[in-house]
Structure 1
Amino acid sequence: MIRTPLRPLARILKARDQGENPDRIEAENRRLRHEQMQDRARQRAEGRLLVLAGMFFLAFCTIGLRMGVLAGTVPEEPTAQARGNPIIGQRADILDRNGRILATNLQTHSLYAQPPQMVDPEKAATELAAIFPELDAEELLEDFTGERRFLWIRREISPEQMQAVHDIGDPGLLFGPREMRLYPNGALAAHILGGASYGREGVSSAEVIGVAGVEKFFDDQLRDPANEGAPLHLSLDLTVQAASERVLQGGMMLMNAKGASSVLMDVHTGEVISMLSLPDFDPNDRPRVLTEGDQGDSPLFNRAVQGVYELGSVFKIFTVAQAMELGLVNPDTVIDTSGPLTWGRFRIRDFRDYGDELSVSEVIVKSSNIGTARIAQTIGAERQRDFLGQLGFLEPTPAEMVEAPTGVPLLPPNWSEISTMTISYGHGLSSSPLHLAAGYASLLNGGTRVEPTLLRRDRPQRGPRVVSEEVSAAARLMLRQVVSEGTASFGDVEGYAVGGKTGTADKPRPTGGYYEDKTIATFASVFPADDPEYVLIVTLDEPQIEALGETRRTAGWTAVPVAAEMIRRVAPLLDMRPDVETLTPVGVTLTSN
C-alpha cells in the first residue's frame, strides 16, 4: 500500500507562494488518511460478521435437521455397550420365608504370584507352605523358578492369611479382591441350597456360579444385574429346618439307620417348609462327587428328592380313596381278607392274620395287604395308573431344584393285574418322599392337586380336583384311626390330632429279589387330621432297634416315634396352638350365706 505524504513538498511550496497556510494541507491529508483507515476497518468487520452469520446459519440447519430425524424415529430405551467381557461378581442373597439369610456373599481376596517379579522365590515358597499346609514348598519353588509368568496360589484367603502373606514382603506375591459365597448356617438346608463355585476368574474378580440345588436352578436370576440384587425368598423356615434336623439326626442314630429324610409341606400352598436328607454336607466346603461305588451313599445325594424307593403301605390310602371316589366301596364295606391271596405264582400275605373279613376302614387301620389288593382288583390297572398320574406319581416333581428331574419314578414295564395289586400297597412302583408328600397333600387338603414348591407363596394353589371333599374327609378319618388305634400308635401327639399311615418295604437287591433284613420305613402323617395344615413324611433307610427283646424294623417302631417327636417340636414353631381340653376346676368354692 502506497501512503500519501501528509506534507507534499510541491503543494507546500505552492501554498507559500500563494500566501496560504501549509498546515491546512497536512490536516486535510491526515483526515483523508483516517477516513481510508476507517473504511478498511469497516470492511473487515463486515466480512467477519458475514462469516459468523454463515456459521450460525449452518449450525442452525444442522441442529434442525437432527431434530427432524429424531422426531421421525421410533423411541427406544437407551442401551449401554462396553467393550470386552467383564466378570460379574455380585450375586443376590437367598433368604428363608422370614427373611433370614441362607446364602450371601463375603468380601475376600485371592492370592496369586508373578514369578518374574519375585525377589526371593525360595523364601516365598517356604513361608507360603508354612501359612498354607496343603501347599508343597518344593512344588512352589519349581513353579516360581520355572518359565511360568502367572500362578494362582489360593482362590480365597482369610484376613489373617492375607496379613501373613503380606509380611513375607515379596513384590511377586499379589492379592486380588473378590467375593465368595457364604452359607452362614453350615450344613443346614445344604441339599436345598446346593452350593456355588467359581466360573470365569480374573485377578480382580471372579464369577460365582451355582453348581447344585436352588443355587444352580436360579443361577441366572441370582446373577442378573437387572434385578438390582433383589434376594431370592424360599419357602423354608430356618427355625423349623433346624429343629427338624436335630430330631431326624437323633432319630437316625437311635434307630441305627443308614440314612434318613423328611419333608414338611403346607397342604394348601404346596410350600416346602422343611426338607432334610441325611447324611448331609457343608456347602461352604462341598465334597467331591463319588467316582465309584453307590452314589446313593454320597452325602451329596438328596434322598428326599432323588431317592426313589418302594415306600410300602403308605400307598394304601390312595387305593381306598380312589375306590371310594369311584363308588366301589365306602368306609364300612366288608372286604374279604382271607389269605394268602394267590395270583399265578405270586402269593400276597398280611403281616399277621387279621381274620377273613375287614371293613375298608379296618383294612387301613390294620394295614391289610390282602384287603388292599382285592380293592385294587376292582379298580383295574388303567384307572389306577390314571389316578396315580393325577397325584403326580408318574413323573418327576416340579420342585425348583436341578436335582428334581433326576428323581424319576420307577414304574412297572407292564402295568398288569399283579402290578396293580402290589402297587396298591406300595410295591412295584418307586417314588421319592417328595412325591409322597405332594400326593398326601393333594388327597387330604379337600381333594385338590398341589405341587411342591420351594418358593414362598401367599395363597393356596388352585389345582384340579382329585377326589371329592367327602372322600378326602373320610380318608383323613381313617388315617386318624391308624394313629389312635392302629399301627402308628406311637405317633399320637397331644393337642395336634395327628393322622398318618405307616409303610415298611423290603429293600430290593441289586441282583434281584429283596433283602430279608433291610427295609425302608416310612411314616406319612398329616396334622391336625380334622383340618389339615401340614403333611410330614419321615423315611429311614435300614433302621433297626431292639425293643421288647426283638429286633424291630417296621415303621411303627422306627419312623413313627421320630415323626411324632418332630411334630411335637415344630408345631409350636409353626404358630399352631395345641387343642387341649380344659378341665373343670376342682377345689373349694367360696359361697355367700
Structure 2
Amino acid sequence: MNHIPPPEELRLPPSPHAPPAGRIRPAGMVSERVDSRALVRVSAPDLARRAQLETTRGRLLLAAAGFGLLFGAVGLKLSIATLIDPQQPKLRAAARVPDLTPSVGRAAITDRNGEVLAVSLQVTELYANPQEINDPVEAADKLLRVLPSLDRERLIARITQRTVGDSDRPVQFAYIARNLPPRTQQAINDLGIPGFHFRAAERRFYPQGREAAHVLGQVDVDGHGIAGVEKHFDERLRTDHAPLKLSIDVRVQVALRDAVEKAITDFNGIGGAGVLMDINTAEVLAMVSLPDYDASDPGGLQQRAAATEATPASPIRQVALHAPAPKAPRQDTDPHFNRATVGLYEPGSTFKLLTASMALDSGAANIWSTFDASRPIHYGRFTISDYKGKNRVLVLPEVLAYSSNLGAAHMALLLGPQKHREFMGRMGLLNRLQVEVPETARPMAPSANSWRDINTMTIAFGHGISVTPLHVVTAISAVANGGVLHQPTLLAQPDGLPREGTRVLSEKTSETMRKLMRLVVTDGSGKGADIPGYFVGGKTGTAEKNGPHGYIKDKRVAAFVGAFPMNAPRYAIYVMVDEPKPNAKSHGYATAGWVAAPAAGSVISRVAPILGMVPETEKIPQIQQTISIPLQPGRPPAAPRAPAASPAPAAPPRGNTPAGAPPASPLQQQVPVPPAGLQPPALRRTEAPAASLRLAAAPASIDGSGLAPE
C-alpha cells in the first residue's frame, strides 16, 4: 500500500534546529548544532513590548534606589538618636483644667478685707457695618423696637453708607450699643437685620455702688482709668491680674458716709466730707465726699468723649447713641468733685492744735503760759476778736478749750512769721499730698515773701490759708501719734510693719497735745464727739467762707478733727459739713460744736466695735486721770518763766470782771488781767496787702494738672 504524504497544511512545523529550506547540511555536522547566522523573525509588537519592559525595569531600579536611600537615612537617624547620641526625655506639662472664670483684661479692686469694690465682667457690644445695610431707615426703626433709648436720627446717620473723612475708604465699623444683656442680644438677633454684629467686651462694675466712689474713680469706654485709683494704678491693673487691695474698710466707709449724710440733711448743708485714718500708718480706712454718685452709673461720664469713627483694628472711642450729657453742675454741688482731696477750705479753729503744738515744741510757751484775750487786736482796718470770748487773760489750755482766736494769734507771734511758715511746711500743709489718687490739690497759702505778722496771726486760728480735709487729718495724726508725719496711703499695708515717716514733733509735745485734745472734748466745744469708754480728743473749727467781696457771714464750714482713744491713739477722724444752716435742735447755731462734733461721735460709736475696740467703761476714772490736764495749770515752783505773750500787772484790778460773767474761781483769780488802758505789745507793721485776710477761697476748679500754684 503506497504511503500518501500529508497535505502541506497538515505538515508539522520544522524543528528549530533544522536548516532553512533548500539548504543542505554539510556532511559530518551534528544535527543539533545551530548555525550562528540563522535568522529569527521578530514582529514589531514584540519589539515594542521588549522596549517597554526595559523602561519599566529601569524605573523600578531607580525607585528601589530611592527607597533604599530613604530607609537608610531613617535608619541612620534612628541610630544616632538611640545609639550614638541618645536624646533625654522631655517632661510635658500636665493638661490644665479649663478655668470657668471669664477672661478679662483688668484686675479687680478689693478693700482691706477682700470685699470686691471693682471688677470687670464680660459683656456684649453691638456694632454695625454700614456697607451691609441697604435701607438704614428701615433698619433703624426695627432696632428701636428693642433699643428705644437710642436717638433715631443719630442712629440713621451712623448706619448710612459713607466714607471716612475725605478719603475713598468706606466706613465698615460703627458702635451702636454697649453692655447688652443676653435677652436683648437675642431680641436683636430675632429681628434678622443684616449688617448688625456682636462682639465680646468687658465692663467695669462697682458692687458697692456709691461707697468709696471718689476713691475708686472710673474707667472710660475702652476700660482705661480716668479718675481715682483706677487712673493712678491703670497700668498695674491692666498688666497684673492679681486683685489690688486698698486700705479702705467698706464697713467703716458705710458708717462714715451715713453720719456725714445725716449731718448734711439735719443742717441743710450743700455737701460734706469725712476721713478716718489709721494714726500710726496713715492708711485711709474711709474717705467720703458728698454729694457723690453711683460708681457703676457715673452719670454719663463715658458719654463726654467725642464720637469718632473707627475700624475694628483701631482704638475705639465711640459711645452709645444717647442724648448728649447735661451741662456739668457747679463745683460745690458736682457729685464728681472730691472734697476730701481737692476741696480747699479754711480749716478754722482746728488749726489751733497746730499752733499750740508749734509753741510747745519750740519751747516758746508752756502749758501754764498766759495769753491776752481781753480785747480785740486791731491791724489796720482789720480786727481780730473772739466768738463769745472770755474777755480776760487765758492760760494755754483755755485757749484751746474756749477756742480763742486772740490767744492763738498771740501764741503764734511768739515764733514769728518765718518760723511759723517753716513749721507749716514741716507739717505738710504747704504742698500737695502724695496719696494714690490723681485728684489732689495744693494748699493756698501766702508765699514766703508775703508771709507777714498778719498772716501768722490769722493762720494761727485757721484763716488766711486753705487746705484739704486730708491735709488736716494727716497733720493732726502726727500731733497725736508721737510726732511722726506719714504720707496718707490708700493701699493696705502689711500687718506689723511700721511705715517710714518724718519726725515733726517730740514725743513729749505729742503727749501734752493728747491731753489738750482730750480737754477740748471734755470741757470745750467738742463735747458732742465724746463717746464713753473711747476717750475721744480733738478740736472743732468753724470758718466763714470767702466770697468775691470778703467773708460771707451766713456761709461757713463746720469741721471736727480728732483721734481716739487718747490714752493709746489708734485712729484719727475728720468730719466736715459745707454751709450748714441752723435748726431748732441747735438753738439757732450752726457751728462745728453742734454740727460736726456729734457726727464724729456717731461715727466713732459705730466703727470702734467694727475695728475691734472695746469701750473701757469700767476704767474711765483711772484712764481719764492719766490723760487729763487742768484748764488752768499752775506754774511749777522751779519752772522757768516762759516769754510773756502780753504785759500783765502783778495782781488783777478789782471790778474788771465783764458784766454777766460768772465769779472767778480762786485758781482763775491767780491769772493776771491787764488793766483796761494797757494795749498788747506793738506789732511789726508790714506792707501785707489787704487781701491777706481773704486768702481762703471756695474750692477751685480742676484742670489736668490740679489747682493753680500759690
Q: State the TM-score bracket (shorter-chain normalisation).
A: 0.7 to 0.9
Distance in 2, matches of 1:495 and 1:241, equals 22
Q: Does residue 344 of structure 1 match 2:367?
A: no
Query: Given that residues 545 and 558 in structure 1 are in contact (C-alpha distance below 8 angstroms), is that contact kept between their aligned partners in structure 2?
Result: no
Q: Deviations over 1:91-148 (max 9, x none)?
A: 0000100011000011110011224434765553223223222213454345445445
Q: 1:285 aligns with which of 263, 286, 297?
A: 297
Residue 454 (structure 1) aligns with: 490
Pair 1:294–1:582, CA change in 2 (3 A): closer
Equivalent residue runs for 1:67-82 within 5 Å: none
Residue 196 (structure 1) aligns with: 219
Query: Given that residues 523 and 563 in structure 1 are in contact (C-alpha distance below 8 angstroms), is that contact kept between their aligned partners in structure 2?
Result: yes
Q: Deviations over 1:194-222 (max 9, x none)?
A: 111123xxxxxxxx111100000000100
Residue 208 (structure 2) aligns with: 185
Query: Given that residues 133 and 160 in structure 2 are in contact (C-alpha distance below 8 angstroms), is that contact kept between their aligned partners in structure 1?
Result: no
Q: Does residue 410 of structure 1 match 2:439?
A: no
Distance in 2, matches of 1:142 and 1:294, equals 34
Query: Given that residues 259 and 542 in structure 1 are in contact (C-alpha distance below 8 angstroms), is that contact kept between their aligned partners in structure 2?
Result: yes
Residue 111 (structure 1) aligns with: 126
| AA in 2 matched with 1:496 | Y
Q: Does residue 353 of structure 1 match 2:376?
A: no
Equivalent residue runs for 1:473-488 within 5 Å: 473-488=511-526
Distance in 1, matches of 2:424 and 2:157, equals 64
Compute the displacement of 1:250 (Å).
Answer: 1.4
Query: Given that residues 490 and 564 in structure 1 are in contact (C-alpha distance below 8 angstroms), is that contact kept between their aligned partners in structure 2?
Result: yes
Query: Given that residues 246 and 490 in structure 2 are in contact (C-alpha distance below 8 angstroms), is that contact kept between their aligned partners in structure 1?
Result: yes
Pair 1:132–1:337, CA change in 2 (3 A): same
Residue 27 (structure 1) aligns with: none
Residue 153 (structure 1) aligns with: 176
Q: Please state whether the residue corresponding to 2:502 is helix, strand or coil.
A: coil
Residue 67 (structure 1) aligns with: none
| AA in 2 matched with 1:158 | P
Distance in 1, matches of 2:17 and 2:503, equals 125
Q: Please state whether the residue corresponding to 2:259 is helix, strand or coil.
A: helix
Q: Please state whether the residue corresponding to 2:591 is helix, strand or coil.
A: coil
Query: Given that residues 270 and 332 in structure 2 are in contact (C-alpha distance below 8 angstroms), is that contact kept between their aligned partners in structure 1?
Result: no
Query: Given that residues 119 and 170 in structure 1 are in contact (C-alpha distance below 8 angstroms), is that contact kept between their aligned partners in structure 2?
Result: no
Residue 165 (structure 1) aligns with: 188
Pair 1:548–1:566, CA change in 2 (3 A): closer
**Identity of counterpart residues, as a percentage?**
40
Residue 493 (structure 1) aligns with: 531
Distance in 2, matches of 1:116 and 1:220, equals 37
Equivalent residue runs for 1:31-430 within 5 Å: 90-118=105-133, 121-141=136-156, 143-147=158-162, 149-199=172-222, 208-224=223-239, 227=240, 229-287=241-299, 288=301, 294-404=330-440, 407-413=441-447, 414-430=450-466
Pair 1:333–1:136, CA change in 2 (3 A): closer
Q: Please state whether the residue corresponding to 2:560 is helix, strand or coil.
A: strand
Distance in 1, matches of 2:69 and 2:337, equals 85
Equivalent residue runs for 1:500-579 within 5 Å: 500-509=538-547, 511-547=548-584, 550-579=587-616
| AA in 1 matched with 2:490 | L
| Structure with more of its chain in helix, by fraction | 1
Query: Given that residues 124 and 168 in structure 1 are in contact (C-alpha distance below 8 angstroms), is that contact kept between their aligned partners in structure 2?
Result: no
Query: Given that residues 128 and 135 in structure 1 are in contact (C-alpha distance below 8 angstroms), is that contact kept between their aligned partners in structure 2?
Result: no
Compute the displacement of 1:293 (Å).
Answer: 6.3
Distance in 2, matches of 1:470 and 1:193, equals 39
Residue 663 (structure 2) aligns with: none
Query: Given that residues 262 and 276 in structure 1 are in contact (C-alpha distance below 8 angstroms), is that contact kept between their aligned partners in structure 2?
Result: yes
Distance in 2, matches of 1:380 and 1:265, equals 32
Q: Which has the larger radius of gyration?
A: 2
Query: Given that residues 261 and 277 in structure 1 are in contact (C-alpha distance below 8 angstroms), is that contact kept between their aligned partners in structure 2?
Result: yes
Distance in 2, matches of 1:364 and 1:235, equals 32
Q: Deviations over 1:421-452 (max 9, x none)?
A: 11011011100000011101111101111110
Q: Deviations over 1:68-109 (max 9, x none)?
A: xxxxxxxxxxxxxxxxxxxx9610000100011000011110
Count of equivalent residues: 517
Query: Given that residues 104 and 121 in structure 2 are in contact (C-alpha distance below 8 angstroms), is that contact kept between their aligned partners in structure 1?
Result: no
Distance in 1, matches of 2:204 and 2:552, equals 43
Pair 1:334–1:137, CA change in 2 (3 A): closer
Q: Deviations over 1:540-575 (max 9, x none)?
A: 100122246842121001111111111111111111
| Structure with more of its chain in strand, by fraction | 1
| AA in 1 matched with 2:443 | P
Q: Deviations over 1:435-491 (max 9, x none)?
A: 011101111101111110000112232312111111101101111011111111111
Where structure 2 has 5 or more consecutive residues not aligned to the other structure, the ranges are: 1-15, 19-24, 35-56, 81-102, 163-170, 305-325, 621-710
Q: Deviations over 1:369-411 (max 9, x none)?
A: 111110100111111111111111010111100102xx11001
| AA in 2 matched with 1:198 | V
Query: Given that residues 339 and 348 in structure 1 are in contact (C-alpha distance below 8 angstroms), is that contact kept between their aligned partners in structure 2?
Result: no
Pair 1:471–1:127, CA change in 2 (3 A): same
| AA in 2 matched with 1:140 | L
Pair 1:349–1:142, CA change in 2 (3 A): closer
Q: Deviations over 1:163-217 (max 9, x none)?
A: 2212212232211111011111111111001111123xxxxxxxx1111000000
Where structure 1 has 5 or more consecutive residues not aligned to the other structure, the ranges are: 1-6, 23-36, 61-87, 200-207, 584-593
Residue 49 (structure 2) aligns with: none
Q: Please state whether the residue corresponding to 1:215 is helix, strand or coil.
A: helix
Distance in 2, matches of 1:486 and 1:8, equals 152
Q: TM-score, normalised by structure 2?
A: 0.68
Q: Please state whether the residue corresponding to 2:593 is helix, strand or coil.
A: coil
Q: Please state whether the residue corresponding to 1:303 is helix, strand or coil.
A: coil
Distance in 2, matches of 1:136 and 1:50, equals 72
Residue 467 (structure 1) aligns with: 505
Query: Given that residues 264 and 580 in structure 2 are in contact (C-alpha distance below 8 angstroms), is that contact kept between their aligned partners in structure 1?
Result: yes
| AA in 1 matched with 2:442 | V
Q: TM-score, normalised by structure 1?
A: 0.80
